[in-house]
Structures are given as C-alpha cells and as structure tokens.
C-alpha cells in the first residue's frame, strides 16, 4: 500500500513562479489516498489538473527544479513533425526515450511481431502528418497519404481570414490504429487559437501523465511547437494551456519527487528561433537557441515502458 509521503507545501516562497503549478500538483498527488496498480506498476494518482504558462517575451517553460534534457525533447519533436516512426533515427541522434517500446520483446508483447525492431507503428507524428493512412512499416513513403493535420493548421494560421477558426485541431488518438501502435498516445489532442489576430496559443489534453518522467518533457515539447508555429506563420507566441487526465507518480519515483519538492524554482529561460524555413519539416535543432536556462541538478527517474 502506498502512503502519503510528504506534507503539502502550497505556500512557497516564490509563489508566483509558474513552475509552482507543477510542484503543487506533485504535492497533491503525494497527499492522495488513491492507490492504483496499473499496467506497469503501483501509483498514487489524481484525475484532472490544469496548468497555464505564458510564452510572451520569448519565455519557454523548461522546468528548473531538475535539469530537463531539452535538446532530447526538441529532437523528438522535430522527428514527430517529419511524421517519422523509425526509432533508429532517434538513436542516431542519441535519443533513447523510445528504446524500450521499440524493442523486440515489447513489440512482440503488443502483438506486433510483423514489425521490425524499432518500428513504432503509426504513433504521434504519423497521425499529425498522415492521419489514418494505411500503415505498412516505418520505411514506407506516405507522401500525400492520409490527412496532414499539421499542414491544415499551418494553412489556417498563415491566412488572416482563417486564423480565427475554432477548428484548428490536431489529434493523435486514432481508434482505428491504436492496436498497431507500439504505445497508444498519451498526449492526444491539441487546439490552436489566435488572439488579436497575431497572438498564438496552444491547448493540449493528455490522458495519462507520468509526473516524474513525462510532464516536464511534455510541457517543453508543446511550448517549442507553439513557438515554432508562431515563427513559421509570422505570429507571436502567447500561451500554453495544459489539461491533464490521470496524473500519477510511480512508487519507485516517490523519494526523488520528495527531493525535487525541496528545491526553489528559478525563472524560465528564453527561446529564439533564428531561421525561418520554407517548410515546417525543414527546421533543425540548431535553429533553436535557448538562453539563460538556470536549473538544479538532474534527477534520474527510470521511465516505465
């Protein structure tokens, strides 16, 4: 039985720092009596949470109470944007967050023995760029197949007559193809909104939130994406709204979470995207310059596959 592991600490010294939304959520989960044993371990969890981060003045909310490997996060995002589903391409860039899910053992356990190792199936990027196209394997050419949701959003954002649309939505949740994904998506739905005809916001809903390993990555990734779309479409980044379903902490992460909660957050860094490319998939890591990222030491959390 998991037990309450720390007292809540809602009134932090630097209470106006936006990172406290995340720290207070960790407090709330640790204070809960909702013990669950799920697919891959014992957790404490709550259902439902919201966070709100400003992106104005080039702010990028990369959490500071532990060092976040933001370059790894960015490399994964650029891989999503290309519609890529081959984990070997991430490994070539020293990104290993999908290695367990792309292993032979894991794929076979999902009934995906027909896929070669590191073929992740029609996950995030495939749905963003080729929604519901017939999936063959990670090496096939899917050009002009399926629905390019990202392209459709970009076309709206670039058009002053269309950018006030309430239909600028991208979903990664495709019930028709969940069974051939190495892992069903956790962050499943995003909507974009333009205020005053030039300020771009993104709202994202995530069904399942690993608060130790995933949340900091997810925040950084969608804020990088919002900054990128603003740059690409000649808009100003404005805000990121984060809606969360099942928020959980695994039993083996609790001690390190308690340590992280003792740390005072720093101010967030800033982001400059130094080039504007012709196509959204043309951007590269060196186009992104993060400045003044001050952080505490890294905390090693073992990710649950």
> Is 190 inside any structural domain?
yes
Q: Residues 79-94: pLDDT tens digits?
A: 999 999 999 999 999 9
Q: Domains in the chain: how many in total?
A: 1
Q: Spell out the alpha helix ranges (H) of the chain.
A: 20-30, 70-81, 87-91, 104-109, 124-130, 149-158, 215-232, 254-260
Q: How far is Cα of residue 101 from the mean position of the Cα atoms in its chain?
A: 17
219: tokens are 């925040």
> Is 183 inside any structural domain?
yes
> Is 4 inside any structural domain?
no
> Is 160 inside any structural domain?
yes
- pLDDT recorded at residue 34: 76
> Is 29 inside any structural domain?
yes
Half-sphere exposure of 140 (CA within 13 A, CB side): 16
146: left (phi over 0), alpha (psi -120 to 50) or beta: left
Give whole-number Cα distances, 260 to 25, 64, 267, in Å.
13, 10, 16
> pTM of the entire structure?
0.93
Which of the following is catalytic: 33, 186, 202, 233? Answer: 186
- pLDDT recorded at residue 45: 94
CATH number at residue 79: 3.30.572.10
> Is 58 inside any structural domain?
yes
- pLDDT recorded at residue 8: 43
Residue segments in the chain with a per-residue pLDDT below the cut of 70:
1-16, 304-305
> Is 56 inside any structural domain?
yes
Range of the domain at 268: 20-291
> Is 9 inside any structural domain?
no
Q: Does residue 186 have an active-site annotation?
A: yes
Give whole-number Cα distances, 107 to 213, 217, 245, 279, 299, in Å.
22, 24, 26, 33, 29
């Amino acid at each position: 039985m998991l037990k309450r592991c720390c007292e809540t600490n809602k009134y932090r010294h630097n209470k106006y720092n936006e990172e406290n939304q995340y720290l207070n959520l960790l407090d709330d989960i640790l204070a809960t009596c909702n013990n669950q044993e799920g697919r891959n371990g014992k957790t404490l969890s709550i259902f439902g949470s919201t966070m709100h981060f400003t992106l104005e003045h080039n702010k990028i909310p990369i959490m500071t109470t532990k060092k976040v490997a933001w370059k790894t996060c960015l490399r994964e995002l650029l891989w999503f944007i290309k519609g890529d589903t081959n984990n070997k391409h991430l490994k070539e860039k020293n990104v290993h967050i999908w290695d367990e899910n792309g292993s032979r053992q894991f794929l076979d356990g999902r009934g995906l023995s027909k896929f070669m190792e590191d073929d992740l199936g029609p996950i995030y990027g495939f749905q963003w760029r080729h929604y519901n196209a017939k999936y063959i394997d990670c090496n096939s050419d899917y050009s002009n197949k399926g629905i390019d949701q990202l392209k459709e959003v970009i076309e709206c954002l670039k058009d002053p007559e269309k950018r006030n649309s309430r239909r600028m939505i991208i979903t990664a949740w495709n019930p028709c193809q969940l069974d051939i994904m190495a892992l069903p998506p956790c962050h499943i739905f995003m909507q974009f909104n333009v205020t005053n005809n030039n300020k771009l916001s993104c709202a994202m809903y995530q069904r399942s939130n690993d608060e130790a390993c995933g949340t900091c990555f997810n925040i950084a990734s969608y804020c990088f994406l919002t900054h990128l779309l603003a740059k690409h479409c000649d808009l100003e980044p404005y805000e990121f709204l984060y809606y969360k379903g099942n928020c959980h902490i695994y039993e083996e992460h609790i001690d390190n979470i308690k340590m992280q909660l003792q740390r005072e957050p720093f101010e967030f860094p800033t982001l400059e995207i130094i080039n504007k490319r012709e196509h959204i998939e043309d951007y590269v890591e060196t186009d992104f310059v993060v400045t003044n990222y001050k952080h505490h030491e890294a905390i090693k959390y073992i990710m649950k596959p």
